[in-house]
A and B are shown apart, each in its own frame.
Chain A
Amino acid sequence: MAITATIEVNQQDLLTSLKAFCTKLLEQDAISAILVPQRLPMKSMVMPTLVTEADHLDGVDPLSPAFPMNGAKVLAKLTRRPSGGKIAAIMRPCEIRAFIELVKLKQARTEDVVLIGMDCLGAYGNTDYFRFAGEDAEAATRRFYESVLAGKGAALDGVDLTTACQACEAPFPTSADIAIGLHGVDTGRHLLVLGQTPAGDDLLQQMGLPSSEVPTERQAIMDQLRTSREKYRDDMFAATAAATDNIDKLNTYLANCVNCYNCRVACPVCYCKECVFVTDVFNHDPSQYLRWAKRKGAVKMPTDTVFYHLTRLTHMSTACVGCGQCSNACPNDIPVMELFRMVAHNTQRAFAYEAGNSVDEKPPLSEFKEDEFQEVVGL
């Protein structure tokens, strides 16, 4: 039976409550460490930290609008092989989804981790965040969640959520072991805690949090949010499709690309040690460039740009979780997230697959059936 509990909140001081929650987590025998975003002493940045001692939890800040990296990759490094201890990881829903994809790709394991997700309030782009936070990251976080939870939106001080976040129709940690709910919850007084898997329930059982009920209005609020996000997303897809629906337009769209491959480095589900595009396969013989130039009269350098993006889409679009780190990483501000998400949305729909939904669902290209997709066969 799924456990529904609460975390006490005093005067909407969510950060303190969350810190207390983290402290309590660390007190559990089953948990050796927690992975949680914290404000760093240096700069105003918020980064995942691996904490084993409760007195190192002062900067706990999972509600910050900073999202410098997708933590799934970090967690994968921690869980790839048995580490001798269990980690409780507090992450955004898109990070959890990416982590689940990495589990399926054998880059991570679930055995030594309890995934704790929070209703995600979204994040600003890296540069926007710095502008917004200024020198006081903690205050920035409080300003941010108070505004959002009060229904006043995330557009503050001239910055707004990233497009990826605004288009995110899944800001709820449905595939986490434990979910921390904000939406529809009276966050002035408490946070909602939900056990969503046996592992999550076990941990909550041990923690002995006061039990509670899911507020009746929560579902409606979530649905409403999802609907408005979907609308935003679909408009985004429409605009992106219009901007890329032939090779000329796609060329234009990607014209700034300098083959830096940052998008794939930032991508949580691009798990290759080294991208094929930096291997010998694309280390062409010098005579090759001449031949290409000859065939069409001219060739854009560096080559293989569109080829790279299209090929990468065949590799990762079925696993894309829409976190938007690609756009965050692009040095030339190409709206790559819009493009990748659009394609990912379509491919995942084509295979009736939802990235990051469950470790039990096989990735579309890792299975097949005898009698399927007849429509792609024949003339």
Chain B
Amino acid sequence: MENFEPVLVAFVCNWCTYTAADLAGTSRLSYPKNVRLIRVMCTGMVDPQYVIKALLEGADGVLVSGCHPGDCHYINGNYKARRRIKLLKEILPQFGFEPERLRLTWIGASDGIEFAEIMQELVKELKALGPSQAKMKMVV
């Protein structure tokens, strides 16, 4: 556990959070290596199956992050995403996935610092949770 390095898969929207991540990167803010960014056009395109896939395949946590309410480039994709995350947060914990392993955040394009802070916080939390139950299991 001491040296446990969790893996966080982050689905980030092209317009806001990806921009924030890029800003964090170019501003040389330090955010943990544990984050695997997957750029999508909009959080509204994140199909629940992607989240399940990531968790079953060994991600210790999944983050879906997009534009704040009212800011979505595609008008309301983030609201749709919020319902899907709500659904997943109902289903997954029933099977032992701690609710903290799935997160939804809004991170705006200029919030590079916030992006870095949230990543640090998430990784800290995941470290505290320990490895995900699915990590070493023979399930696909």
Contacts and interface: CB of A to CB of B under 8 A. Distances in A.
A134 B105 CA distance: 60
Given A296-B137, A310-B52, A368 B76 contact: yes
Contacts of B121: 379
B58 A376 contact: no
A42 interface: no
Given A248-B133, A368-B76, A368-B83, A296 B138 contact: yes
B56 A370 contact: no
A247 B137 contact: yes
Please report whether the interface of chain B is mostly helix, strand, loop or mixed according to DSSP.
helix
Contacts of A347: 87, 90-91
Contacts of B88: 314
A251 B134 CA distance: 10
B140 A247 contact: no
Nearest to B122: A379
Interface in B70-103: 70, 76, 79-80, 82-92, 94-97, 103
Contact of A346 (B48, B82, B94, B125): B94
A296 B136 contact: yes
A250 B138 contact: no
Interface in B42-71: 48-49, 52-53, 56-58, 69-70
B118 interface: yes
B94 A241 contact: yes
Given A245-B96, A246-B96, A343 B91 contact: yes
Interface stretch (A52-60, A99-107, A221-229, A298-306): A298-306
Interface string B102-126: 0111100000000000100110010
A350 B95 contact: no
Interface string A303-317: 111110011011001
Given A247-B139, A370-B69, A314 B96 contact: no
A378 interface: yes
Interface string A244-260: 11111111000000000
Contacts, number: 126
A364 interface: yes
Contact of B82 (A247, A305, A372): A372
B103 A379 contact: yes
B110 to A, nearest CB: 18
B95 A246 contact: yes
A364 B69 CA distance: 19
Nearest to A343: B91
B51 to A, nearest CB: 9
Nearest to A297: B138
Contact of B87 (A247, A314, A370): A314
B95 A247 contact: yes
Contacts of A276: 49
A351 B97 CA distance: 20
B94 A350 contact: no
B133 A314 contact: no
Contacts of A365: 80, 83-84, 87
A378 B114 CA distance: 12
Interface in A33-82: none
Nearest to A284: B140
B138 A307 contact: no
Contacts of A246: 95-96, 133
B34 to A, nearest CB: 15
Given A295-B58, A310-B52, A313-B91, 20 more contacts: A245-B95, A246-B96, A247-B97, A247-B137, A300-B138, A305-B140, A306-B56, A311-B48, A311-B49, A311-B52, A343-B90, A364-B83, A364-B87, A369-B79, A370-B69, A370-B79, A371-B69, A376-B86, A376-B104, A378-B103
